[in-house]
Amino acid sequence: MSFQIVGIGEILWDVFPDEDRFGGAPCNFACSASELAGDDATVGFIGAVGEDSYGTRGIESLRSRGVTTNFVQTYNLPTGRVTVKLDDSGAASYVFDSESAWDFLAWNSDLATIASTCDAVCFGTLGQRGEVTKGTIRKFLEIVPRKSLRVLDINLRSPYFDERLIRESIPLANILKLNESELPVVATACESSGSEEDILVQLAAKFKLDTIALTKGESGAVLWSRGVWSKLPGRAVHVADTVGAGDAYTAALVLGLLHGENVESINRRAIEVASFVCTQSGATMSFPFRFKDL
């Protein structure tokens, strides 16, 4: 069976001290999902680029990973860029250009068609910083079948979020993915408290979520799905940088859920995938394995 998977939101370039690298969380997700799924899925990306070399290269980068770009829009605006700084451990911090093409993703009937047929869609909070794109993402989610996976990847990048955005975004999803630094912010916004596990259970109950994934870097990940828990440690690897690791985890999570894998297997495979990404430079890459091979 071939699944239809979509990433929607920001498309941009990560500007490192030594080079520019293609990125954007939903783009990273789409590229990883396509690489890991192989013939098991058709993966598309929905977003907007500028009429510049970054836009051209961005579309080429998506296609090189097997991602469909039929729904990428082009505008006379700069393609998104973000300046990335890495600390001594390889952890990244980001400074975004203020107004970019991805802020102006327009709604059209073609998007309604793909929304009505997709098996999984991944969206984030950062992609909603512009009112136009925010409206398009939310219209898309309204049409996605209720049985499909609607994955919110919390992506808190100051100053492009507030508590209202968090509270409005979670009900649009049935799967929530966040990391340990984002958990306290989400907990405060949603009036949840207690241990990590307490907060996850409260969020699941409050927003009727089917699955929540909490990634914890080298400490591994906690995955809760319909009352079943998996708590696994991370893998000791030599870290080149952590950019895209969380997005790759999300891609493996989606593929595992679509294939009906058990919670422990999904979490273990997703950690393996994210760990591999940490050993490579940049956010998108070829994998030496498919999801089912792990």
Find, among 58, 36, 56, 57, the residue nearest to 45 by Cα. 58
Structure tokens at 184: 């306290």
pTM: 0.92
Structure tokens at 69: 């770009």
Residues in the chain: 294
Structure tokens at 280: 């490579």
pLDDT of residue 292: 63
Find, among 67, 214, 55, 46, the residue nearest to 140 by Cα. 46
245 vs 32, 92, 100, 266, CA distance in Å? 10, 11, 24, 15
- Domains of the chain in sequence order: 3-293 (3.40.1190.20)
CA distance 40 to 152: 22
CA distance 151 to 175: 5
CA distance 235 to 250: 17
Structure tokens at 292: 């089912």
Dihedral in degrees, nearest 10, Cα atoms 269, 124, 43, 78: -130
| Residue appearing with tokens 């979490």 | 267
89 vs 22, 77, 237, 240, 244, CA distance in Å? 21, 35, 12, 9, 15
Dihedral sign for Cα 274, 279, 282, 288, please: negative
Query: What angle, 0 to 180 degrees and rounded to 10, lies between the N-to-C axes of helices 131-143 and 109-117?
Result: 40
CB contact burial 148-186 (16+ within 10 A = b; e otherwise): bbbbbbbbbbeebbeeebbeebbebbbbbbbbeebbeeb
CA distance 270 to 99: 33
Q: From first to last of its 294 residues, what are the pLDDT tens digits of the chain?
A: 689 999 999 999 988 778 888 889 999 999 999 999 998 999 999 999 999 999 999 999 999 999 999 999 999 999 999 887 778 776 767 788 888 999 999 999 999 999 999 999 999 999 999 999 999 999 999 999 999 999 999 989 888 899 999 999 999 999 999 999 999 999 999 999 999 999 999 999 999 999 999 999 889 999 999 999 999 997 878 777 667 789 999 999 999 999 999 999 999 999 999 988 878 766 676 777 776 676
DSSP 125: S
